[in-house]
Amino acid sequence: MKCYSNHLLDLKALVERAGDAVMSIYDTDFRVLEKDNKTPLTEADLAANTIIKQGLREISDYPHLSEEDKHIDWQQRQQWHRYWLIDPIDGTKEFIKKNDEFTINIALIESGKAIMSVVYAPALETLYYAAHNYGAWKQNAAGVQQLSLQITEQHRPTRALISRSHKSREADFLSAIYPQIEFIKMGSSLKLCAVADGQADLYLRLGPTSEWDTGAAQCIVESAGGYVLTSDLQALRYNQKECILNPAFIVTNQINPTNRLLFQ
């Protein structure tokens, strides 16, 4: 397998190619379908999924698990040591609303941990990429910036992210714990990336998410020096069980006693 830096170049090119296809649909009066679980689906989800899967086959022979192609038996999946985890479009509701806050996500998972990833927001022309022991980076019109969380004591409200498209009980929990708090509404995996690049201090998620919703962005957060933690303050892990739903988790720039209070 190629070294991280070269392999990330392949992933960046692939996700940008998928982004071009997605944006060509985004700018049209596209049709919205409904999946069996009542969540929305567009032709952009399917187009990105096809491009990404084809591209990953050219990069490696690792298996893949995608939101749009997810019916893989647990008996087979539990044998995977290394595989690609894909969310062709995270934030399909944001895509449909055309508010630009949707992302294309690819992560390489090894032994339950996301070790390399790209998160691309094509409408915002912003790309995050990272690899374990390599670092995390943000690329946009302003250039390329390495992400490195530096925690200092600041006398300001805690900045917490909440979903733009889902009703959130998290705001009530956070308000009860933090005397000063500022809420920032944002869609998709951009919420995790916002913690990684210092735009926010934390993101609490108590409601259901799937593994492809978080894998790529978790690698960005952790490579920048942040944390994605379950209720026992352990790192969120992947492909450890038959069900692909995540438990409740918090994304934070530091571990402290307050983190545990959020799950009580």
Maximum distance among all alpha carbons in the chain? 51
**Cα within 13 Å of Cα(11), Cβ side:** 27
Q: What is the mean pLDDT of residues 22-33?
A: 95
Q: What token pair was written down for 125?
A: 């022309």
Q: Judge whether residue 2 has pLDDT over 60.
A: no
Cα distances (angstroms) measured from residue 47 to each of 20, 52, 55, 153, 158 = 10, 9, 12, 45, 39
**DSSP alpha helices (H): ranges in 27-103?**
43-59, 74-77, 92-97
Instruction: List the domains of the chain with CATH numbers.
Output: 4-147 (3.30.540.10), 158-261 (3.40.190.80)
Instruction: With CA atoms as reference, report the closest residue to 88 among 149, 25, 167, 130.
Output: 25
**pLDDT score recorded for residue 258:** 74
Instruction: With CA atoms as reference, report the closest residue to 135 among 228, 12, 219, 234.
Output: 219
What average pLDDT is seen over the chain? 92
Q: Given the structure tokens 């339950």, which residue do they identify? A: 112
Cα distances (angstroms) measured from residue 154 to each of 151, 192, 195 = 9, 21, 16
Q: What whole-number distance in Å separates Cα of residue 156 and Cα of residue 214?
A: 28
Confidence of residue 6 (pLDDT cuts 50, 70, 90): confident
More confident site: 199 or 3: 199
Q: Judge whether residue 263 has pLDDT over 70.
A: no
Q: What whole-number distance in Å separates Cα of residue 66 and Cα of residue 104?
A: 11
Is the Cα torsion angle 68, 120, 148, 195 positive or negative in sign?
A: negative
CB 171, CB 146: distance < 8 Å: no
- Give the global pTM: 0.94
**pLDDT score recorded for residue 143:** 97
pLDDT tens digits, residue range 181-229?
A: 999 999 999 999 999 999 999 999 998 999 999 999 999 999 999 999 9
**pLDDT score recorded for residue 230:** 94
